[in-house]
Structure 1
Amino acid sequence: MAVDELIISYAVKVNAGSGVLISALSQEFSYVLTARHVIGDHPEVSRDGRAINVIEPPYHHPDVDCSIIKVEYQADIKQRTWMGVLPAGSRISYVGYPRSNVGTGRPYKIYTGSPNDLAHQIIVCNLDNNPSQESIEGMSGGGVYYIDGHLPYLWGVESRMDDEDPEARYGRIRCFPISRFEEIIETHKLVQIAPFYMGCFSNFKDDIFYFNAANPVNVQKLRQKLIEQAEWLIDQGMPAPHDLMVRYLRELLIGDDEPDVTVMGRKLWVAYFEFVIVCSILDDVDIIDEAYLKTLDRKRRFMYSSSADNWIRKLSEIFKAAKDMLDANGAMLVNSPQENAIGVPDPEDLEEVIGDIASSPRFRELSRIDNAHGEIYKTYSIAHLKGLRNEHVLNKHREYGSSTVGKQLSIFKGYYGSAIKEGS
């Protein structure tokens, strides 16, 4: 889809004004960002001439002309956003539904221009050809995009012409950055906006399988093979991070104290991508689709913690999550920022954690119902992805370096398969 087509597809009418669709961390609704003054007493939203159901009253910023409307879920919205200052020489596109175009075959309009400044949480842009206020009436609340290559990034939402003198309002628009709408989300404890990189795993391809080996040349070809596997899975239609995020939500997080927003973090999705690539290699699978994910859900799971503490401290929480998610003999692969992590827990750690779980009153009550309840914990494999990397790639880099390119992936598969199966 061309850039103009993409940004038009995200544009909506809000009463006699405009708005822009953006994804939320939910499969139950999406957001419309707009200017507060266009909403009135009762917001009506339409997309491509079709009404969109408004779920509940809009949420307003207490200080500036910004509002968020919660609307029925729009599955095709994978909006990219840009925070902060744009590079020098950047160009912007501004899209909305001007009143002058009502009833025509082209109800929308796109203006191009240049960013003027971003100061005091206000964006000012200069539009090409200096359109008058009459020309853009009805476009209030429309999206302002930074175009980088062939990708649009939502940078702000227009509120009004910039000049205070109505007779001098030509070509300069005043907008509010996405951070203002995040303030509304924070104030009202709303579900977070989903970031742009959640649209495709290709956004993480350059970040996966970073092997900081003593001699990087030894594992360079192994990494290339793993990246080729990643590219293949993407090309075969692997679900987007956004879709998987909505599917799993907090099941991706270790412990109740982990903030909800962690599920949108880039580091989590780099780690998840590595997880699913490892799974595809272990299972000899070339397509990651709904059918494969269903088989994987009870067999092998991924969880993440944003804490750099020793991951072994979280073993109890990991085991309890495994009991809810996995069948017997399932594997839980976790990741965290801990670079020096071990791959699998020591037997003593496992015995201590399982014994601690077994001593809880809740466990004893469940055990009266099911005598096999305690034994299932002993069947799980628990491993840390960075730890596996440390032990089975970095520590063995010479073995990979002395092997043929075709054999390196087999060595990798053998070590990871054994570690995961024997982890507990």
Structure 2
Amino acid sequence: MSALGPEEIYQRAVMVNDGSGVLVTALSADHSYVLTARHNLLRERTNVASLMEPNETVVKLRVGTEIEVRQLIVSPVLDIAVIVVVSQTLDPTATSTSVEMEQSMWLVGFPEIRRNLNDPLRLFTGQIESFGAMSIDVSTKSFAPVDEVRGVSGGGVYIKAAKRWILVAVECEMEGRLQEGHHWLRCIGIPAFDDLIREHGFPPILPPFLLSFSQLADAAFSLPGFECPATLQRLRTVLLSVIRTNLATDTPTPNGILSTFGKRLLVQEDPECSLLDRKLWISWLEYLTLSVLLDRPQVVDADYIETLRSRRRFLYSGSDGEWTAFVERIIQSDLGDLADDGLVLVSNRIEGSPAKTRSIRDLSRVVPDIGLPLSGALDIGIPRKPIGKVKLFHLDGLHMDCIVRQEQLYDNKLGLDEHTVLQLLAEAYRASIAQ
């Protein structure tokens, strides 16, 4: 997932009748969600029985395009609602429950007094004043008269972390009495929306590409740098055939892998929002495909993946810099149960291929004392053994070394059949890893 800037936040902001809302992804190929304040969907603000029908509810993008509404889900207790809308193309929605007192925040919404302007959207800055299990109170000096607050209810509240915008709450009302004039707003945290969605049997707020690796197949093995388009096309066709044949039925879905391993998929100290990076799951698909080439398993199921991780571990970082800058964090990551001569494959959001494919051989240059047990949440009370002869490779660099820089081996003019191409690929990866 690329780091969201203000424009990407603005694209998520929607108008919901006379109020605002925030458009988020759903783990579904059919629909997305709009999170909003419940009173935006009521004919009478405090009367839950006056709920509008879906066909009476108007949801519009910033540019004025109307989105089809399919269903309304409202809380009987809290001033929150989820609008189920036809599926929209969105980057993954990073959410968090972690906020701090006096932390900077940004609120995006559509004030009533701006509705007739060419650009009715406004971004308000402020800070978090207090928070509890469900609610977050924020203050903002950027509101002028109270009239400017009207229409903003239901807007998304964001914080910034790890160079990313993180959705933490939805604004629902003024906090305190109007005459107090302290410019505080009451917001409801995202967990309340998660609960509401789950209670009604709808899929969670996750990107739809986590449903199946098949949705990521076309993005795998992009292999930039080829001179011959025909050779590139032939190689990608062969690799996609491996994916379709071996990773279609019994293989756990990306969401299943996410549920099983969670933050263990990440380099130590990487923010949890990195788990929603599309690049992570494209790399996971490439990691599994590479393992099929090397191991030729009968089936790629949960048992195979568990065994695979004891020999060949994959870790991801949302960093967009050179991976050699965080090798020490890689070593401090989840390497429990990795064989002494195991392999660690790393991927991150760097543009293009990394400067180095393999890290330095002498890990004692990276870890001050390689004999000390390494930290790890899964090994509480169980000291870790030293790393041993673990090798560290960057997955994108490995593709570059084994495929792109050896383009002549796979030249389309040679007329190689699929079996021969797969053999050559396996031999190239095996030789590179063995060095």
**Separation in 2, partners of 1:381, 1:302:** 12
**Separation in 1, partners of 2:315, 2:273:** 14
- The aligned counterpart of 2:397 is 387
Match of 2:296 among 284, 308, 330: 284
- The aligned counterpart of 2:361 is 350
**Separation in 2, partners of 1:361, 1:332:** 19
Matches within 5 A, 1:75-86: 78-80=27-29, 82=32
User: Does 1:118 find its partner at 2:61?
Assistant: yes
Contact 2:371/2:385 (8 A) holds in 1: no
Give 1:387 shift. 0.3
User: Does 1:225 find its partner at 2:238?
Assistant: yes
Give 1:355 shift. 3.8
User: Does 1:421 find its partner at 2:431?
Assistant: no
**Separation in 2, partners of 1:297, 1:194:** 25
Contact 1:316/1:354 (8 A) holds in 2: no
**Separation in 2, partners of 1:330, 1:361:** 17
Secondary structure of the corresponding residue to residue 216 of structure 2: helix
Contact 1:83/1:179 (8 A) holds in 2: no
User: Does 1:184 find its partner at 2:169?
Assistant: yes
- The aligned counterpart of 2:407 is 397
Secondary structure of the corresponding residue to residue 341 of structure 2: coil
Matches within 5 A, 1:18-417: 78-80=27-29, 82=32, 117-119=60-62, 141=81, 143-146=83-86, 182-184=167-169, 188=189, 190=191, 193-212=205-224, 213-256=226-269, 258-321=270-333, 323-338=335-350, 339-342=352-355, 344-345=357-358, 349-351=360-362, 353-359=363-369, 362=372, 373-374=385-386, 376-377=387-388, 379-401=389-411, 402=414, 404-406=416-418, 407-417=420-430
- The aligned counterpart of 1:49 is none
Secondary structure of the corresponding residue to residue 361 of structure 2: helix
Residue type of the partner of 1:316? E
Residue type of the partner of 1:145? V
Give 1:322 shift. 6.0
Secondary structure of the corresponding residue to residue 194 of structure 1: coil
Contact 2:157/2:169 (8 A) holds in 1: yes
Give 1:341 shift. 1.6
Q: Using the aligned pairs only, state the percent identity.
A: 18
Secondary structure of the corresponding residue to residue 358 of structure 2: coil
Contact 1:114/1:126 (8 A) holds in 2: no
Gaps of 5+ in 1: 1-63, 68-76, 85-93, 95-109, 129-135, 149-153, 155-173, 365-369
Residues 159-210 of structure 1: CA distance to partner in whole angstroms, max 9, x if unpaired?
Answer: xxxxxxxxxxxxxxx9998957944289748589322221111211110000
Tell me: CA distance 1:177–1:289, structure 2 relative to 1, closer, same or farther (3 Å): farther
Secondary structure of the corresponding residue to residue 313 of structure 2: strand
Tell me: CA distance 1:176–1:252, structure 2 relative to 1, closer, same or farther (3 Å): farther
**Separation in 2, partners of 1:277, 1:219:** 17
Contact 1:301/1:333 (8 A) holds in 2: yes
**Separation in 1, partners of 2:273, 2:339:** 28
Contact 1:392/1:415 (8 A) holds in 2: yes
Secondary structure of the corresponding residue to residue 117 of structure 1: strand
**Separation in 2, partners of 1:65, 1:241:** 32
**Separation in 2, partners of 1:194, 1:231:** 24
**Separation in 2, partners of 1:414, 1:113:** 62
Tell me: CA distance 1:179–1:197, structure 2 relative to 1, closer, same or farther (3 Å): farther
Residue type of the partner of 2:339? D
Contact 2:61/2:67 (8 A) holds in 1: no
Residue type of the partner of 1:334? V
Tell me: CA distance 1:281–1:117, structure 2 relative to 1, closer, same or farther (3 Å): same
Tell me the number of residue pairs that the alignment of Structure 1 and Structure 2 aligns: 285
Secondary structure of the corresponding residue to residue 222 of structure 2: coil
Give 1:403 shift. 5.7
**Separation in 2, partners of 1:127, 1:268:** 32
Per mean C-alpha deviation after superposition, the further-off stretch among 184-193 and 334-343 is 184-193
**Separation in 2, partners of 1:221, 1:253:** 33
TM-score (norm 1): 0.56
Give 1:229 shift. 1.2
Give 1:216 shift. 2.5
Tell me: CA distance 1:65–1:298, structure 2 relative to 1, closer, same or farther (3 Å): same
Contact 1:303/1:332 (8 A) holds in 2: yes
Residues 98-128 of structure 1: CA distance to partner in whole angstroms, max 9, x if unpaired?
Answer: xxxxxxxxxxxx96699663359x9977889
**Separation in 2, partners of 1:240, 1:309:** 28
